[in-house]
Amino acid sequence: MRLFVREHLSLLIFTLFELLAVLMVFWFDGYNHPLTAIYALLLGLFIFAGYLVFRYFTHRGFYERLSHPVDSLAESVHRHESSPLPSALSELMETQYRQYQNMLQNWERKNEDYLTFMNQWVHQMKTPLSVIEMVTQDEEDERMISISEESDRLRRGLEMVLYVARLDTFEQDFSVEDVNLQQITSEAVHEHKRYFIRSHVYPEVLIDESMSVRTDAKWMRFILEQLLSNAIKYSAGSGQKVTLSAKTDGRAVILEIQDRGAGIPKADLPRVFRPFYTGENGRRFKESTGMGLYLVKEVIGRLNHQIELESTEGQGTRVRIRFPYAL
């Protein structure tokens, strides 16, 4: 109703001026019967009011659609009006909706093709990497050791690309199950065994063997590998430990990963989970991409877990993952 009044207010003012102008013409022409003039004015207003009432009831659905937001695009196009203007607008919106649907379907097909290509490319790249790792596995030559280190970096980068590509289809690619926390953390540590050795950093797992949580094992392993990779990278050469521990808090389980490395400057802490943000440490450690913690935060949220990060520059970083329900 408010939108209808706002639209026709200018028409009402124009009509009043028009009726008054006609009366003034008759008045200056010598027609001086005020009762007849008032009657003519009221008759004109009555006819105009009748037009407004007719227009309101024939366009009421149209104004309601414009006044109230819709919950979905489909809701805005499947209502047909009998009046010319609302009917034309409905046809226009239906045409735009179909065009939007076609564009969306095209983008979805392109995105699916892109994801398929990325997955296939990553798996193809893993084959030569596996061959390189086999060749350099037991070699003590410095050149072979350097090649092995670079192949490890490539493998971690490819794994990140693969999980980034899978993030858009996360709902189709996860399965919640009972996961032994000590086992999955040990597997993540083992995956980074050579990285630990090369960096002179030592893992310490302090988790009860009977402790389990409900999560997705594959995505949780990815999270742990990203956090361990950061812990090792920022502790490299320190000879310190990276400690993985867990405790219960009511029905919840809290997994804690603590390193004693470079730490994160206080000014960077509020932004560490932003995509591509590397901060001060990114300028000191050239391997930083700014995507690791962002992906961790995204996956943690989709798994309905919680993550907290505390850090003191020069003393290390502590990351806590809270699993809502313990087993």
62 contacts: CB under 8 Å, gap ≥ 6? 81, 83, 85, 86, 89
pLDDT of 148-162, one tens digit each? 888 888 888 888 888
Residue 32: count of CB within 10 angstroms of its CB? 9
Q: What percent of the chain has pLDDT over 90?
A: 24
CA distances 253 to 222, 227, 256, 304, Å, are 19, 18, 10, 13
Three-class DSSP category at 72: coil
Q: Determine phi and psi for 259, rounding to 5 degrees.
A: -115, 165
What pLDDT shows up at residue 69?
A: 63
* Full-model pTM: 0.68
pLDDT of 5-20, one tens digit each? 666 677 778 788 777 8
pLDDT of 52-76, one tens digit each? 788 777 767 666 666 666 666 665 5
Three-class DSSP category at 18: helix
Q: Determine phi and psi for 170, rounding to 5 degrees.
A: -55, -45
CA distance 107 to 198: 44
pLDDT of 221-245, one tens digit each? 999 999 999 899 888 888 899 999 9
CA dihedral 12, 13, 17, 19 (to 10 degrees): 20
What pLDDT shows up at residue 118?
A: 81
Kindly state the tokens that stand for 192. 């980074």
